[in-house]
């Protein structure tokens, strides 16, 4: 089999990069060792967030929101998006100051952020002393697998080939760089290869002698049974001092959050075939997080849990995406370092990366996200930096 581009990994980042490369005229084959969306992407909360810590991420986040809303127009495949808006809530002085700074910065980057008040929503009952910001641009996708399916359908429409249940076992190289991949059942020659293997990115890059600084870290959420007083039209709520996010889901409430002492997991040291179903889940972590917002969101602790799911984020040492050419391996590219936003930013990140790979002159430059920025790091340093970024998801400047 021969193609312009092989994308390893049919998660949100790989599928978006593949779709955009195909729309730019490349022949593209996507290979996944499992089924599309079976790992992190199919288990996401589906949240999109316009307020981000720097201008580049803000640009990517807002572009992604716009592209998700207009998905049907530019791909020909419909995608349902919930235009709920979101509330950012801070209850401590420190976090109020942090949110004020974020609001000021975000407004200067074009984001719509308004002062608001809690208390008028069905499931969040503030006491009036918190700082609340209203972010009307924010959206969510009710079932994350819908975005994956839309990418797959759009990819097919635009000529990409998807090979599922076919692990990549080698990335082949010559003196001048990458020549393709070997899978469990075939050889594919290609001019370029994208490593978008999520939590397995590092071990895939190593197959070609490359080094990509990402550390997988566990993340979990729960969805309650339907709760009568949760209005499904209500917005997303993010309580930054508790590092908890909430949204209506399936008639109940979704509760997720960022533990202060997270669990890093390196698939390279796990059994062969380790996948997301092997990530140990701990409901106690979510109960503790939900307990921090119990007085404002009684439904978070009082309701019966209908679903508890989790997976792995790929955290980078500086909390930013890792996308671009892998140093010392010409022809190998990476799309990783999701840092908890890979699902929502995939639309714009995949677009920008595909344009870069295709050598488009008018591409939106994401060179600042290149994997070369880290140099050589020990595993220990990389994991401890990634864990820090995870624990400070809502207040990275703290």
Ligand X SMILES: Cc1cc2nc3c(=O)[nH]c(=O)nc-3n(C[C@H](O)[C@H](O)[C@H](O)COP(=O)(O)OP(=O)(O)OC[C@H]3O[C@@H](n4cnc5c(N)ncnc54)[C@H](O)[C@@H]3O)c2cc1C
Query: Among residues 5, 7, 18, 46, which is the contact residue for ligand X, using CB under 6 A?
Result: 46
For position 249 contacting ligand X by CB under 6 A, the verdict is no
Residues in contact with ligand X, shown as a per-residue x/- string from 318 to 337 under the rule CB under 6 A: ------------------x-
- How far is the C-alpha of 2 from the C-alpha of 45, rounded, in Å? 36
For position 10 contacting ligand X by CB under 6 A, the verdict is yes
Q: How far is the CB of 130 from ligand X (least distance, A)?
A: 22
**CB burial class (10 A; 0-12, 13-18, 19+) of residue 150?**
buried
Q: Give the CA diameter of the chain.
A: 65
Q: Among residues 56 and 336, whose Cβ is nearest to ligand X?
A: 336
- How far is the C-alpha of 195 from the C-alpha of 214, rounded, in Å? 12
**CB burial class (10 A; 0-12, 13-18, 19+) of residue 16?**
buried
What residue ranges in the chain does DSSP mark as E strands?
Answer: 2-8, 28-31, 86-90, 114-116, 131-135, 161-163, 168-174, 177-183, 187-195, 215-224, 236-239, 244-249, 252-257, 305-315, 322-325, 332-336
For position 38 contacting ligand X by CB under 6 A, the verdict is yes
For position 9 contacting ligand X by CB under 6 A, the verdict is yes
For position 72 contacting ligand X by CB under 6 A, the verdict is no
Quick one: how many helices (H) and strands (E) in the chain?
Answer: 11, 16
For position 12 contacting ligand X by CB under 6 A, the verdict is yes
* Residue 252 · residue 223 · CB < 8 Å: yes
Considering only CA atoms, which of 187, 173, 201 is closest in space to residue 328?
173
Q: Among residues 338 and 391, whose Cβ is nearest to ligand X?
A: 338
Q: Tell me the C-alpha to C-alpha distance, in Å, between residue 170 and each of 183, 188, 207, 208, 337.
A: 7, 10, 6, 8, 22
Please, which of residues 149-208 interact with ligand X by CB under 6 A?
Answer: 167-168, 196-198, 200, 204
Q: Among residues 8 and 178, whose Cβ is nearest to ligand X?
A: 8
Q: Among residues 96 and 152, whose Cβ is nearest to ligand X?
A: 152
Bridge partners of residue 309, in order along the sequence: 221
Stretch that binds ligand X, among 44-52, 185-193, 287-295, 376-384 (CB under 6 A): 44-52
For position 8 contacting ligand X by CB under 6 A, the verdict is yes
Q: How far is the CB of 334 from ligand X (least distance, A)?
A: 10
For position 95 contacting ligand X by CB under 6 A, the verdict is no
Give the SS3 label for residue 106. helix
Q: How far is the CB of 219 from ligand X (least distance, A)?
A: 4
Q: How far is the CB of 362 from ligand X (least distance, A)?
A: 26
Q: Among residues 56 and 96, whose Cβ is nearest to ligand X?
A: 56
Q: How far is the CB of 129 from ligand X (least distance, A)?
A: 28
- How far is the C-alpha of 152 from the C-alpha of 131, rounded, in Å? 41
- Contact residues toward ligand X (CB under 6 A) are 8-14, 31-34, 38-41, 43-47, 167-168, 196-198, 200, 204, 219-221, 309-311, 313, 336, 338, 340-344
């Amino acid at each position: 089999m021969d193609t312009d581009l092989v994308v390893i990994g049919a998660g949100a980042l790989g599928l978006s990069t593949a779709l955009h490369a195909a729309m730019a005229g490349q022949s593209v084959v996507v290979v996944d060792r499992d089924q599309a969306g079976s790992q992190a992407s199919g288990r996401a909360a589906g949240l999109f967030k316009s307020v981000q810590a720097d201008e580049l991420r803000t640009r990517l986040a807002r572009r992604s929101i716009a592209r998700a809303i207009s998905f049907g127009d530019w791909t020909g495949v419909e995608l349902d998006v919930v235009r709920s808006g979101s509330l950012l809530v801070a209850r401590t002085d420190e976090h109020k100051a942090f949110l004020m700074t974020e609001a000021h910065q975000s407004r200067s980057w074009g984001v719509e952020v308004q002062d608001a008040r809690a208390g008028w929503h069905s499931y969040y009952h503030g006491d009036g002393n918190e700082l609340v910001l209203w972010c009307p641009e924010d959206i969510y996708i009710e079932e994350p697998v819908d975005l994956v399916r839309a990418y797959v359908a759009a990819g097919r429409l635009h000529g990409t080939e998807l090979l599922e249940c076919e692990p990549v076992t080698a990335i082949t190289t010559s003196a001048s760089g990458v020549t393709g991949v070997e899978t469990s059942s075939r050889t594919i020659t290609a001019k370029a290869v994208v490593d978008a293997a999520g939590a397995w990115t590092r071990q895939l890059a190593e197959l070609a002698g490359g080094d990509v600084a990402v550390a997988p870290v566990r993340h979990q959420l729960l969805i309650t049974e339907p709760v009568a007083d949760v209005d499904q039209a209500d917005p997303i709520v993010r309580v930054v001092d508790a590092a908890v996010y909430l949204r209506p889901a399936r008639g109940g409430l979704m509760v997720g959050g960022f533990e202060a002492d997270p669990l890093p997991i390196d698939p390279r040291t796990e059994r062969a075939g380790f996948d997301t179903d092997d990530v140990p889940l701990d409901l106690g972590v979510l109960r503790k997080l939900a307990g921090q917002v119990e007085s404002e969101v009684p439904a978070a602790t009082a309701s019966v849990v209908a679903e508890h799911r989790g997976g792995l984020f790929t955290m980078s040492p500086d909390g930013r995406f890792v996308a671009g050419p892998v140093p010392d391996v010409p022809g190998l590219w990476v799309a990783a370092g999701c840092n908890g936003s890979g699902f929502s930013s995939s639309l714009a990140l995949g677009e920008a990366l595909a344009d870069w790979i295709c050598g488009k002159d008018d591409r939106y430059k994401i060179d600042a996200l290149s994997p070369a920025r880290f140099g050589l790091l020990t595993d220990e340093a990389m994991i401890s930096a990634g864990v820090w970024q995870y624990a400070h998801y809502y207040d990275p400047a703290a």
